[in-house]
Amino acid sequence: MADLKTNFLGIESPNPFWLASAPPTDKEYNVRRAFEAGWGGVVWKTLGAEGPPVVNVNGPRYGAIWGADRRLLGLNNIELITDRPLEVNLEEITRVKKDYPDRAIIVSLMVPCEEAAWKAILPRVAETGADGIELNFGCPHGMAERGMGSAVGQVPEYIEMVTRWCKENYDKPVIVKLTPNITDVRFPARAAKAGGADAVSLINTINSIVSVDLDQMAPEPIIGDKGTHGGYCGPAVKPIAMNMVAEIARCPQTHGLPISAIGGITTWRDAAEFMALGAGNVQVCTAAMTYGFKIVEEMISGLSQWMDEKGYTSTEDFIGMAVPNVTDWQYLNLNSISKAKIDQDACIKCGRCYAACEDTSHQAIAMSEDRTFTVKDDECVACNLCVNVCPVENCISMVELQPGELDERTGETVSAEYANWTTHPNNPSAQAAE
Ligand SMILES: Cc1cc2nc3c(=O)[nH]c(=O)nc-3n(C[C@H](O)[C@H](O)[C@H](O)COP(=O)(O)O)c2cc1C
Ligand code: SF4
Ligand code: SF4
């Protein structure tokens, strides 16, 4: 069986699956049970400064989006950082770390954006023996209105400044957790690096309103008669998180900066995809909240089985492997030409592909009187829409034409040459450059 052991920033853990800072890591009871279930590490629920703990609402704090089978796709929350006393959390972290020396424990922190506040908490965290800290510059609700969380994460100068304070006052790894509530994630990532961050983790939750109660006329969850925006996470945010991870991994200024990936990770495959895009490990929240801690067993067995099949002996073998294949649109090969092909044996004759292509794509699917659906190669632009609306998996596939074959749509033979937009005759810039 493949070895899933990972070394992230010198922090060893038996597997790359860590629980993200959130309710699953809020207390000793949870974290012990998580470790017994097999999780490789945890990022403890965010601690705040000494003093009276924050206060959460006393009504519903979650909203959600579901698929047709009622499977949870997106989770929205208005929870704050830990509402338990700092001292209690620190004692628990110390005890758990002592009992589980082989697991990673990272302490998530969010204190006011003042050097004194960070200087006060860092030595106390160091005393717990935890393996590192994660700076929560991401929570988009509640704490942001108090000048913390995403209020810091949206200003690269603040990120750099606070990261530097932490590096100066704490010896172990500092991970900067980024907010997705920005326009270009590369700026905060560069700021974290400039401040000396050992790694970035992303994403925290996305600003969201998931639903509106049309009787009460208020966004949900409703507290009294009002609602507020929350933080969105779960499977629905994975594509957004993957793009952000890839952007940081392939940006020349941040390439090589270790990344802990977060966002909708539910299966071993999600984890493998993030790791292929450059993440050294992954963090999970919603999946554990939906299915319980034991979901890690599936993740561990699935990942190691896949690695065995592929001949990977360590996660290092495939981390970052997809990064060189993430490019800008202008570099895509315009001579790579495909056509849709329908497997008539698998087709259930529902007609969705026909409706989609006829009404919104290129009128490239023919429907016969007996409802046989066939692709017209002379019209098909290979957009892939039919594949995505077809309810039968693998019923429609995209078949790439080989060099020398005729593209019936354009009447041209397929070229073996790689040619992209930068050299295309229709590109005004390309023509100007000639
Ligand atoms: C209820 C809830 C509370 C959270 N609290 C924190 C927190 O205290 N600190 C933090 O950094 N992130 C917090 N998060 C964000 C998660 O750590 C994670 O970044 C996010 O949920 C995306 O991962 P997921 O899609 O696996 O849930 C919270 C998420 C949820 C759902
Ligand atoms: S790939 Fe696009 S254009 Fe071709 S048949 Fe399917 S929907 Fe139509
Ligand atoms: S959407 Fe799929 S199953 Fe339905 S008619 Fe088209 S090919 Fe057949």
> Is residue 147 pLDDT above 90, yes or no?
no
Q: Is 362 in the pocket of ligand 2 (CB under 6 A)?
A: yes
Structure tokens at 106: 């990272």
Q: Is 346 in the pocket of ligand 3 (CB under 6 A)?
A: no
Rounded CA separation 153/63 (Å): 24
> Domain 329-433 adopts which CATH fold?
Alpha-Beta Plaits (3.30.70)
Query: Quick one: DSSP state of residue 3?
Result: B
- What mean pLDDT do residues 396-414 have? 98
User: Could you confirm whether 353 is annotated as catalytic?
Assistant: no
Q: 12-50 pLDDT, tens per residue?
A: 999 999 999 999 999 999 999 999 999 999 999 999 999
Q: 337-373 pLDDT, tens per residue?
A: 999 999 999 999 999 999 999 999 999 999 999 999 9
CA 175 vs. chain centroid, Å, equals: 16
Q: 203-217 pLDDT, tens per residue?
A: 999 999 999 999 999
| 399 phi/psi in degrees, rounded to 5 | -110, 120
Q: If one looks up domain 6-325 in CATH, what number appears?
A: 3.20.20.70
Q: What is the number of the ligand 1 atom nearest to the C-alpha of 82?
A: 8
Which of 328, 6, 61, 337 is closest to 210 using CA atoms? Answer: 61
Q: How many Å lie between the centroid of ligand 1 and the Cα of residue 250?
A: 25
233 HSE (CA, 13 A, CB side): 31
CA distances from 399 to 341, 343, 355, 375 (A): 7, 12, 21, 12
> Is residue 432 pLDDT above 60, yes or no?
no
| 232 phi/psi in degrees, rounded to 5 | -100, 140
Buried b (16+ CB within 10 A) or exposed e, 233-261: bbbbbbebbbbbbbbbbbbeebeebbbbb
Q: How many Å lie between the centroid of ligand 2 and the Cα of residue 351?
A: 13
Q: Where in the chain is the domain with CATH 3.30.70.20?
A: 329-433
Structure tokens at 195: 């401040």
Contact 228, 209 (CB under 8 A): no
Give me the chain's average pLDDT, please: 96
Q: Among 139, 233, 285, 347, which one carries the catalytic annotation?
A: 139
- What mean pLDDT do residues 103-125 have? 96
If phi > 0 it is left, if psi is from -120 to 50 it is alpha, else beta; for residue 393 that is: beta
Q: pLDDT grade, residue 141 (50/70/90)?
A: confident
Which of 97, 108, 115, 104 is closest to 165 using CA atoms? Answer: 115
Structure tokens at 37: 């279930």
Tell me the residue type at 232. Answer: Y
Ligand 2 pocket test target in 337, 339, 343, 357 with most atoms within 8 Å of CB: 357
Structure tokens at 352: 């969705």
Task: Tokens 């609700």: give the residue.
Answer: 141
Pocket of ligand 1 (CB under 6 A): 20-23, 45-46, 75, 77, 79, 81, 108, 136, 138-139, 177, 204-205, 233-234, 237, 262-265, 284-287
Rounded CA separation 241/233 (Å): 10
- pLDDT at residue 388, as a whole number: 98
Instruction: Give the whole-number percent of the chain exceeding pLDDT 90.
Output: 91
> Is residue 430 pLDDT above 90, yes or no?
no
Q: Where in the chain is the domain with CATH 3.20.20.70?
A: 6-325
Q: 36-40, 60-64, 387-391, 401-405: lowest mean pLDDT where?
A: 60-64
Q: 271-319 pLDDT, tens per residue?
A: 999 999 999 999 999 999 999 999 999 999 999 999 999 999 999 999 9
Rounded CA separation 164/274 (Å): 28
Task: Tokens 């040459």: give the residue.
Answer: 417
**Whole-angstrom distance between the N-terminal and C-terminal Cα of the chain?**
56
- pLDDT at residue 139, as a whole number: 74
Q: pLDDT grade, residue 431 (50/70/90)?
A: low
Ligand 2 pocket test target in 375, 396, 397, 409 with most atoms within 8 Å of CB: 375
CA distances from 223 to 15, 62, 64, 320, 427 (A): 40, 11, 16, 44, 55
- pLDDT at residue 344, as a whole number: 98
Contact 417, 335 (CB under 8 A): yes
Q: What is the number of the ligand 3 atom nearest to the C-alpha of 352?
A: 1
Which residues, listed in sequence order, are joined to residue 201 by a DSSP beta bridge? 177, 260
Three-state DSSP at 113 gives: coil
Three-state DSSP at 173 gives: coil
Tell me the residue type at 271. Answer: A
